[in-house]
Amino acid sequence: MADFGADLELEEFRNEAKAWLAANFPPSLAGKGAAAMTDALADSPDLRAWKKAIGDKGWATPTWPTQYGGGGLSQAKARVLGQEMAKIGAFNPLMFGMGITMIGPTILDYGTEAQKAKHIPPIVRGEVRWCVGYSEPGAGSDLASLQTRAVDKGDHWVINGQKTWTSGAQWSDWCGMLVRTDPSAKKHDGISFMLVDMHQPGIETRPIALIAGASPFCETFITDAVAPKDALLGQLNVGWTVGKRLLQHERASQTGGGGAGVRQAPLHELAAKYCATDATGRLEDLDLRNRIIRNAMDARAHGLTLARAAAEAKEANGATNAASVLKNSATNVAQTRAELTLEIMGAQGLGWEGAQFNREEVEAVRGWLSGKAMSIYGGSAEIQNNIISKRILGLPDTTQST
């Protein structure tokens, strides 16, 4: 039997959300999404105003506790907010950082009350930037082989080592870092999770150039960096558990659930601009039509599965191993779409610069190149398949020798 009271409450909230968005979201940003964070709009007055408005409201983190500045909304109301944002092309300008998608949820999971009170409100308001210090030159997919060390000096920690592929390190204020605190323990033991201030002489970042042009990745060199004793998140030498939880949050954020308002034009509309059509307006290339339809069906199935997983995650108190399935699914949908986009555009989809290529065409080739990394970052597709086989399907673990 329908819960009419709950339905009425949601409709009342929908009206509230509509009114607030109408008053606070700048129309000039409609439909910009991630592009607004990377081009000249990144420092525009409208974007600054939108960041402040949604941060102060708590709706950049709609389901986080109000005591730390979050929205305190139910999952149902958060979905309504996302729907209303999508209708007008609004987007969450703080969702593109690691504070909201990874570090914040992990602090909420494992942090002390003092850590939550210190770190969560600035994340909610978008006042600080975070990066994640995981991979090292000798510890990528085999992350537990990491060698960056934190030594207990009584009233503080001293950290030495090197991290790589540290996304956004050059702009970050803080880093959630995995460090080795007991070198004598087995590699999955003796690891701790530290919250490290990036603004100190002992930390140097060097950007890594990528084929797609601009790169968020860095090498990070750590030489006698200092962290206070309360920088430890979770228990000493149990950081592997904390680190895995953060990766669950990361994978959940990469499944397509955090992009409210970022709507991509359907591929069939794009194809109509570049490809031959018959008298009825249909694409003449039957094979291309079939592949466009298949990608649309995969995207729809992914979206429905994402909604189901979000409901299940509520019962499981957060991210689950289903994030590994959805991460691979999101990667497949996005990479296939990028390949189809270039095929549809033909030679116009291969332009790097120049007046003969419009912005959409230039972004297409750069997006196609940068999207190749989706199979690797956040845990490679093979790593996700191992997680699915072991933790969801219950198959034997054949990946560990020790």
Q: Which positions are catalytic?
A: 250
Mapped to the 3 state alphabet, what secondary structure does the chain carry? Answer: CCCHHHHHHHHHHHHHHHHHHHHHCCHHHCCCCCHHHHCHHHHCHHHHHHHHHHHHHCCCCCCCCHHHCCCCCCHHHHHHHHHHHHHCCCCCCCCCCHHHHHHHHHHHHHCCHHHHHHHHHHHHCCCCCEEEECCECCECCCHHHCCCEEEECCCEEEEEEEEECCCCHHHCCEEEEEEECCCCCCCCCCEEEEEEECCCCCEEEEECCECCECCCCEEEEEEEEEEEHHHEECCCCEHHHHHHHHHHHHHHHCCCCCCCCCCCCCHHHHHHHHCCECCCCCECCHHHHHHHHHHHHHHHHHHHHHHHHHHHHHHCCCCCCHHHHHHHHHHHHHHHHHHHHHHHHHHHHHCCCCCCCCHHHHHHHHHHHHHHHHHCCCCCHHHHHHHHHHHHCCCCCCCCCC
According to DSSP, the β-strands at 130-133 and 156-164 are unpaired
Distance separating alpha carbons of residues 72 and 51, to the nearest angstrom: 18
Pairing of strands 174-180, 156-164: unpaired
Length of the chain measured in residues: 402
Q: What is the largest CA-CA distance in the chain?
A: 79
